Amino acid sequence: MVKLKGSIKISGDKSISHRALILSAMATGKTKITNLLESEDINSTINVLKSLGVKIKKEKNIWVVYGNGTCGFLEPTKALDCGNSGTTARLMIGAVSSNPIRCSFVGDKSLSKRSMSRVTKILEKIGAQVNLTNYDYLPLIISGSENLLPRHHIMIKASAQVKSSIILAGLNIKGKTKITEKIKTRDHTERLMKYLKINFKMKVLKNNHTEIELNGPYEIKPKNISVAGDPSSAAFFIVGALITPGSAINLKNIALNPTRIAFLKILKKMGGKIKIKKLKNSCGEDVGNINAEYSRLKGVVINSKLSPFLIDEYPILSIAASQARGKTIMKGLAELRHKESDRIKSIVINLKKLNINVTQVKDNIEIYGKKIDLKKNKTIKTFGDHRIAMSFSILNLICDNMLLIDDVNCISISYPKFKNHLDKLLN
């Protein structure tokens, strides 16, 4: 049987890469970005920014962005194509809303089925004019304004993308924009703003609610950015090592943001032998190395309150659960229905194909772990979802490559080097 051995440096974090590009474009001057993730989603953000008049070029392994300022976007001459990237669409809709320009946003077939109204309803309340297809989806047309209203926004649903969209709009709004989060979400935007010395306030309120206060408009000074490795990408190899006998791996330069590594706590609770070593702080993010080795996992209950911190990791956690002793229950997964695929459906359908006892009860998934013993090849339906494709590619390690992944090309959306890195650990 194969095993994973050795050490690799994980590609740049997708969430940080999007934000590094956008905030650099909103600065006034030249920013150099190193270790930027070069995936289809990030290319979508680069191309949208270029269409808005931002000069971006690659010099050897460094990306250089010549920022136009917080009110410097130019009216595009063509539709802004976000491809498959929900992050590109939601963040850039917010970013352009406080500029006096008219933009049309489009996306691919998958993105055009994902809700945009949770962002646009907020922007409409502060003065942006938005026309959405069927009140919820791309294509959309937005007419922005320099005179959007400063307002206090209370987040009803936990969403780092919606929060970041409001923040990006607020950077060019005159007056105080406040955002209250009842449930804390990923905070890459806030950390990067602190690193760039953007003067905003953050405080913890009663009941652990968080409040962010901006007082715009801002002039952002450029500052070079180094993007840490993506923990969500690292998760695939970590689970691969945990479920494959004889494996022991070292993953370098990983972002250890507390809002991104909840999956490590889950895997440790399952009995995973994982060691984390913090090494430095880079551009507001803690960065370090992670070691993982083969472990006998056990089933656990994953509480719904962890859901905002595990959205991208549930598919690979379901693979870990399939090889754990006993039952794993994942609660409160409603948000998974609004990703590149309905990930609840994608997980359940494919695990059932492999005779794993898996049940779906409303927005919960229950998985009973067992050894997989295949007599013939099984086709895995990815539904065009990169994280489903990578998760079952990892399970294939212990299935003697008898799983036929129907669309491996979708992996390039978030992790073009996935196969190269996996092959390196297999050699």
pLDDT of residue 339: 74
Q: Which of 153, 188, 217 is the last residue of a domain?
A: 217
Kindly state whether residue 55 falls inside one of the protein's structural domains: no
133 and 168 assigned to the same domain: yes
Is the CB of residue 325 less than 8 Å from the CB of residue 297?
A: yes
pLDDT at 77 > cutoff 90: yes
Kindly state whether residue 16 falls inside one of the protein's structural domains: no
Tokens 């090592």 belong to which residue?
241
Kindly state whether residue 204 falls inside one of the protein's structural domains: yes
pLDDT at 325 > cutoff 80: yes
pLDDT at 192 > cutoff 90: yes
Q: Which two tokens mark 326? A: 């006993």
pLDDT of residue 256: 98
Predicted structure pTM score: 0.95
Cα 357 to Cα 161, 240, 269, 369, distances in angstroms: 34, 21, 21, 7
192 and 118 assigned to the same domain: yes
244 and 191 assigned to the same domain: no
242 and 143 assigned to the same domain: no
Kindly state whether residue 76 falls inside one of the protein's structural domains: no
For the chain, give the number of residues: 427
244 and 376 assigned to the same domain: yes
Of 13, 81, 187, 312, the catalytic one is 312
Q: Which two tokens mark 36? A: 């930027």
Among 292, 281, 288, CA closest to 320: 292
Kindly state whether residue 81 falls inside one of the protein's structural domains: no
pLDDT at 1 > cutoff 90: no
Digit-coded pLDDT (tens) for 214-254: 999 999 999 999 999 999 999 999 999 999 999 999 999 99
Catalytic site includes residue 312: yes
**Alpha carbon distance 268, 257 (integer Å):** 17
260 and 391 assigned to the same domain: yes
Query: Total domain count for the chain?
Result: 2
pLDDT at 427 > cutoff 80: no
276 and 171 assigned to the same domain: no
298 and 393 assigned to the same domain: yes
DSSP state of 27: B
395 and 247 assigned to the same domain: yes
Q: What are phi and psi of 410, to 5 degrees?
A: -65, -15
pLDDT of residue 227: 98
**Alpha carbon distance 328, 320 (integer Å):** 9
Q: Which of 217, 247, 265 is the last residue of a domain?
A: 217
Ordered alpha helix ranges (H), 62-221: 86-97, 117-125, 160-170, 188-195
208 and 241 assigned to the same domain: no
pLDDT at 335 > cutoff 90: no
pLDDT of residue 135: 86
Digit-coded pLDDT (tens) for 135-191: 899 999 999 999 999 999 999 888 999 999 999 999 999 999 999 999 889 999 999
Kindly state whether residue 408 falls inside one of the protein's structural domains: yes
pLDDT of residue 362: 86
Q: How confident is the model at residue 337 (pLDDT cuts 50, 70, 90)?
A: confident
Quote the radius of gyration of the chain (alpha carbons, Å): 21
- Domain CATH for 171: 3.65.10.10
Average the pLDDT over 333-352 and give the result. Answer: 87
Q: Which of 194, 217, 240 is the last residue of a domain?
A: 217
Among 50, 91, 54, CA closest to 69: 54
pLDDT of residue 104: 98
Of 126-135, 161-170, 338-347, 364-373, minimum mean pLDDT range:
338-347
Domain range for residue 211? 104-217
128 and 174 assigned to the same domain: yes
212 and 238 assigned to the same domain: no
